[in-house]
Amino acid sequence: MDTPLIRTVDAWKTYRVEEIEIPAVRGVSLEIAAGEFVAITGASGSGKSTFMHLLGCLDRLDRGRYEFEGRAVERLSRRELAHLRNRRIGFVFQSFNLLARTSIVDNVALPLAYQGVGRRERRRRAASLLERVGLADRLRHQPNQLSGGQQQRVAIARALVTAPAVVLADEPTGNLDTTTSLEIMRLLQEMNREAGVGIVVVTHEPDIAAFALRQVMFRDGQVVRDTASQNPVAA
């Protein structure tokens, strides 16, 4: 049996606000295979974004176990976690998180700089990905010269530039209109099918979740439904 890309066992995360403890993730056990396209759904406050942060190694479990490609994440040092985030996990956020005064080609190339890749080579790889997402004619533009949808395409290219095992997208269409949102989801779907990269999308919108092959619903920090889609929206 193949090792899951992601595996959590009885995962818990609790936050403290003054004297009050708020359990955001409560005993979640979940497996995600390599190359899967999964939507994590649920209402605001259901724990889905907290769970995403745990999967992305942006936060640590209070108790339980998290394995990424068979490695126990809780045993990794800070340096090993940074290495994992930089090389095996791509991130796409609702707010794009692009550097405002930097060209989009250099925005996309930035993760490669942390890997020690030379400037010419990282720009070459960045330009190649920007071509794939339809922005080959915008390489020297800065983010404020692009539409919201174009900025999110840049963010997707940046997430993919290190050839990660999985892209974690937290409400990636939250700041976009309906038409642009569907274009972004089709792009993620294409990248999943063509490049084989795993996609995990957090969303509260059913029409966005419909692009995934599997939907996992959170409520009150727990998984209440885990279903495979027989007929996902086609790219």
Q: What is the pLDDT of residues 164-218, one digit of tens each?
A: 999 999 999 999 999 999 999 999 999 999 989 999 999 999 999 999 999 999 9
Calpha distance 123→125 (Å, rounded): 5
Spell out the domain ranges in the chain: 6-228
Strand partners, 176: none
Q: What is the pLDDT of residues 221-234, one digit of tens each?
A: 999 999 997 667 76
Calpha distance 80→82 (Å, rounded): 5
| 2 band by pLDDT with thresholds 50, 70 and 90 | confident
| 235 band by pLDDT with thresholds 50, 70 and 90 | low
Q: Say what the pTM is.
A: 0.94
Calpha distance 140→41 (Å, rounded): 36
Provide the H-helix boundaries in the chain: 48-55, 78-88, 104-113, 119-132, 148-160, 178-195, 206-209
CA angle 100, 50, 3 (to 5 degrees): 105
Q: What is the pLDDT of residues 47-76, one digit of tens each?
A: 999 999 999 999 999 999 999 999 999 999
CATH numeric code, 6-228: 3.40.50.300
